[in-house]
Structure 1
C-alpha cells in the first residue's frame, strides 16, 4: 500500500502536495533539496519556528512578506533589530504576529553569527545527518522526530537558539535534505543528490 496520489500530469505525490498549486510547486522544486548556506538555513529555521501550531501552507503563502519584513533573513541585519523593530514586526499583518517567535528569530540571528568561528550554522546542522534516511510508503510511516533531531535541538539550545524543539528540527531536516522522507513511490524520492531511493547516502 502507498499513500501517493497520481496527479493529472501523471506524477506521484503525497496527498498534502497533490491539490494546492503552491504546495505542489514547493514539493516539486524545493522541499527536500539540500540547503548548505547560512542565510538559506537561517530562513528555513526561522520559518519552521513560525510554523509551529500552524499549517505549512499558511507560512508558505506568507513567505514573501516574511522575507520583506526580516530583510531577506540576513542574520547580521536581523541580529541588530531593536524594540522598534519588534513593534514593527508585531504590527505587520503580512506575517505571523507572535512576540515569542519574533524575539526568538532575533535571538537566533545573533546565535547564528556566534557560530561562525566554529564553522557556522550550516556545518553544525548538517553534522547531524544520519547514516540512513527513512523509507516510508505511507504517511503514518513518516517519523516526526529522530535521535538526530533530538540531538540537534539540544545542541542548538546550548548555543543560544530558541524555538528549536526536536519536532521542529526534524521538519527543518526534511525541508533542507538532511533526511529524505519523500514517500518511496513519489516522483521526488531520491532526487536530492543526498540520498538514494533505498535510504542510503548518495
Structure 2
C-alpha cells in the first residue's frame, strides 16, 4: 500500500486503531449504546428547592448498644484439653504408612518428652470396619493438641493424606463418647 500524503497516514492510523479497539471490545463483550431520545433535563436549570426556615439544629438521639454478657468457650479451648487414644481406619485400597510427630512441650499433660517420631504400616482396608487403636512399643499412645500426623501410600502412587495437626485441622476428629481421636483415610 502506497500512502501519498500525511493526511492519508493519519486516516489510516486512526481507522486501524478504531478497528483494533472494536475487535478488542467485541472479544471482551463490551457494548456501546446511544440514547435515541435527547434529554432536555441537562439544558434546563434546576428548580429551586425550598429552604428550611428554621435554622436551629435538633440533637440526634444517642443510642446505646447493650451487648449481652455471655461467656463463650471456643472449640479450640475445649480441644486444648482433649487428650486420648488414636483410632485409625484405612478405607483405601492401598498399603499406607502413618507417621506421627509428637509435640514436645514441658507443659504437656502426657509427659511425652524425648519420644522419637513413630510410624505404623497398614494393609489395604486394614481397620476399615471399626478402626484400630494405635500404641507405641513403650506403651499406650495418647494424642494431644499440636501432634502431627501424615499418611502416605506405599505402593508408589505418591498419594498422601495430611498433614493433620491434632486439634487444629479437620482431622482427626474427637469422639467425646469414647475419648479418642479418630482418623479415617478414604480414597
Q: TM-score, normalised by structure 2?
A: 0.22
The structure showing larger relative contact order (alpha-carbon pairs under 8 Å, at least 6 residues apart) is 1
More strand by share: 2
Larger Rg: 2
More helix by share: 1
Q: TM-score, normalised by structure 1?
A: 0.21
